[in-house]
Amino acid sequence: MEATNNQTVSIFPLGNPGPTEWFSGEVHVQTLVAPEQMEGLYTVGQVTFSPCGRTNWHTHPIGQVLLVTEGKGWYQERGKPAQVLTQGTTVAIPKDVEHWHGASADSNMVHIAISNITDGSSVTWMTPVTDEEYAEVNKNN
C-alpha cells in the first residue's frame, strides 16, 4: 500500500462514474467480480465516494456486504440514526431494508460491496437522499 501523509492509493482501479439515476455527487464504481464469474451468486465491486457522494435510498432483495477500505462515511437505514463508516468497518445489510451509504461531507469513502443476486436482481433503487436528509446526518459530526 503506497501512502504518504494520509494520501492513499486505492487497492483497485477507480473505475467509471456511477449512473446519476442511482447516485448523488461524485461516485465511481469498479467491478471486481462479475456475476458470471461466480455462478450468478453475487457481484463484487469497489465503490469510491468523493465527499458528499452517496447512493440513493435502496433495498437489496437478498442482502449486501460492505467492507470499508478507506475514508469516512455513513450507512443509514430508514428511520434510524446513521452509523459512521471508517476503514475496517464491515456492514452486513439485511434483505429488504431501505437504506443508503456514502461519504461524509468532509472525506471520501471507499468500500468493497458484495451484492447478492436472486432472480437476476441485486438491488431496487429508490429516491435520492435529499440535501436536507444528508445535511441532518452530517451536522453533528
Interface with its own copies by CB under 8 A: which residues? 1-4, 6, 8, 11-13, 32-33, 37-39, 41-42, 44, 62-63, 65, 67, 69-70, 87-88, 90, 92, 95, 112, 114, 116
- List b or e across 58-97, with b for residues whose CB sees 16 or more CB atoms inside 10 angstroms: bbbbbbbbbbbbbbbbbbbeeeeebeebeeebebebeeee
In the complex with its own copies, the residue whose CB is nearer, 12 or 22, is: 12
Quote the least distance from Cβ 32 to its own copies, whole Å: 5
CB 16 to its own copies: min, Å: 17
Contact assessment for residue 27 and residue 17, using Cβ atoms and an 8 Å cutoff: yes
> In whole angstroms, how close is the CB of 117 to its own copies at the nearest point?
10
Cβ nearer to its own copies, comparing 21 with 119 = 119
SS (H, E, C) 56-116: CCEECCCCEEEEEEEEEEEEEECCCCCEEEECCCEEEECCCCCEEEEECCCCCEEEEEEEE
Question: Shortest approach of its own copies to residue 125 CB, angstroms?
Answer: 21
Q: Which is nearer to its own copies, 67 or 105 (CB)?
A: 67
